[in-house]
Amino acid sequence: MGDVWQDVLSVQPHPDQWIIIGAAAVALAVVLLGQPWRVARNVVTIAHEGGHALVALLSGRQLTGIRLHSDTSGVTVSRGRPTGIGMILTVFAGYVAPSVIGLLGILMLMAGRITALLWLSIVVLAAMLLMIRNLYGVISIVATGAVVFGVSWFTPHEVQAAFAYLFIWFLLFAGVRPVIELQSQRMRQPSPHSDADQLARLTGLPGTFWVMVFLLVNAAVTLLGVWMLFF
């Protein structure tokens, strides 16, 4: 365990530039292509619901459970005031969480904390697992955690670096597409339960306004992440 702890706290060398660029290209392809996206979107859902859960706790709400569904939707339930800034921030956090997590991950990668990033991901997944309230959610969290653990435990630092960059690039790029899908779904089949429409009821501003805010925030965060790594 001492060796493991030393690895987690140590600074790993940055991979070659071609690995970083290659990981970005693969991550972008996964976001843009249909079948890979349908599988990988489960990771986005975990980040989305994790964002709701974290902000709910930080705003003083009581988190009661998280459900992840096979259609890549999810639900996070918390108790507290049904209105107010805490509720607004909790609802807002979901769609911006993947991109923000990606940006925070880039900061860790730039500091050479590759192994620490992987183990932090495992800790966060384990914490979320305690709040999962359905079987598919348990399977999704455990499978994701098993992949990250396998890479961090059984592979050399070079492979860990490539995987970490792929993982973070994916979260960074994946923030925009769900927002576009949200607006498309709202146009085809309006639902009062979408995050944008819940924010509309909480703030009095139209749901489309909140969709545009989600899109602008995620696009800005993505561009910032790309600039940080390449410029």
Residues 183-216 as b or e (16 or more Cβ within 10 Å = b): beebeeeeeeebbbbbbbebeeeebeebbebbbe
Tell me the whole-structure pTM to 2 decimals: 0.95
pLDDT in tens, the chain (231 residues): 666 677 777 888 889 999 999 999 999 999 999 899 999 999 999 999 999 999 999 999 999 999 999 999 999 999 999 999 999 999 999 999 999 999 999 999 999 999 999 999 999 999 999 999 999 999 999 999 999 999 999 999 999 999 999 999 999 999 999 999 999 999 998 888 899 999 999 999 999 999 999 999 999 999 999 999 888
For 40-66, write each residue's pLDDT tens digit. 999 999 999 999 999 999 999 999 999
Tens of pLDDT along 6-26?
777 788 888 999 999 999 999
Q: Which residues face 76 on adjacent strands?
A: 66
Q: Say which residues have a Cβ less than 8 Å from residue 101's Cβ, sequence separation at least 6.
A: 47, 50, 51, 171
206: left (phi over 0), alpha (psi -120 to 50) or beta: beta
68 φ/ψ angles, rounded to the nearest 5 degrees? -115, 135
Question: What are φ and ψ of residue 223, in 5° steps?
Answer: -65, -40
Asked if residue 225 lies in contact with residue 231, where contact means CB atoms within 8 angstroms, the answer is no
